[in-house]
């Protein structure tokens, strides 16, 4: 299984044109959880930082989910990267390198400003401008993007989503083992969680 993941990860990186650089010690990949780790219901989101539907979910729907489900302890959300292109992959790495305390803040900044940096002539420079407000300078971003282990881990996470949950598009959500493809309104998640808790 691990060999298969590594093979697919290598093929994916090759297809995206991600050029390996000297590895650095930028950060270690880890899964990030929004909310109480002991919440009764888990919502897993697979998203790409260059996906407009994912940005709309994070900017318009997630605040209500956070208020009514996450902040109340009814559910927690696990964010998993599913990069659709090389730029999304690099942006995901930068968010990971921001650290635990800044991860979701940087993620939010990238989604809110997606139309600016993702469509610019130099998206990496655009990402640097955005995350500067999250306390990351250009050198930190460059070090992160040179971290092969980080890039490989993000790609491997995407591959696991495909293999374990048949994720093939973004955003996709896993709730109680069920894969739900496509964006939904907050009410959908609220009703789903309430049904699972009852």
Domain boundaries, the chain: 39-77+87-197
pLDDT of residue 135: 86
Predicted pLDDT of residue 10: 44
Residues facing residue 34 across a β-bridge = 77
Q: What is the pLDDT of residue 198?
A: 82
Residues 6+ apart with CB under 8 A from 166: 179
The residue ranges of the chain whose pLDDT is under 50 are: 1-26
Phi, psi of 152 (to 5 degrees): -60, -40
39-77+87-197 maps to CATH 3.40.30.10: yes
- Count how many Cα atoms sit within 13 Å of the Cα of residue 34 in the half-sphere of its side chain: 22
How high is the pLDDT of residue 29?
A: 85
């Amino acid at each position: 299984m691990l060999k298969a993941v590594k093979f697919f990860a290598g093929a994916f990186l090759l297809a995206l044109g991600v050029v390996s650089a000297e590895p650095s010690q930028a950060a270690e990949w880890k899964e990030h959880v929004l909310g109480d780790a002991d919440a009764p219901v888990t919502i897993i989101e697979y998203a790409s930082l260059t996906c407009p539907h994912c940005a709309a979910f994070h900017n318009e729907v997630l605040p209500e989910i956070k208020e009514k489900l996450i902040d109340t302890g009814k559910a927690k959300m696990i964010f998993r990267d599913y990069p659709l292109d090389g730029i999304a992959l690099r942006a995901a790495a930068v968010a990971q390198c921001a650290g635990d305390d800044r991860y979701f803040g940087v993620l939010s900044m990238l989604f809110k400003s997606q139309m600016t940096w993702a469509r610019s002539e130099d998206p990496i420079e655009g990402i640097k401008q955005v995350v500067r407000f999250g306390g990351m300078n250009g050198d930190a971003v460059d070090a992160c993007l040179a971290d092969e282990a980080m890039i490989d881990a993000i790609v491997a996470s995407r591959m696991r989503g495909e293999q374990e949950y048949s994720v093939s598009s973004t955003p996709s959500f896993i709730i109680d083992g069920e894969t739900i493809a496509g964006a939904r309104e907050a009410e959908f998640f609220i009703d789903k969680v309430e049904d699972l808790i009852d």
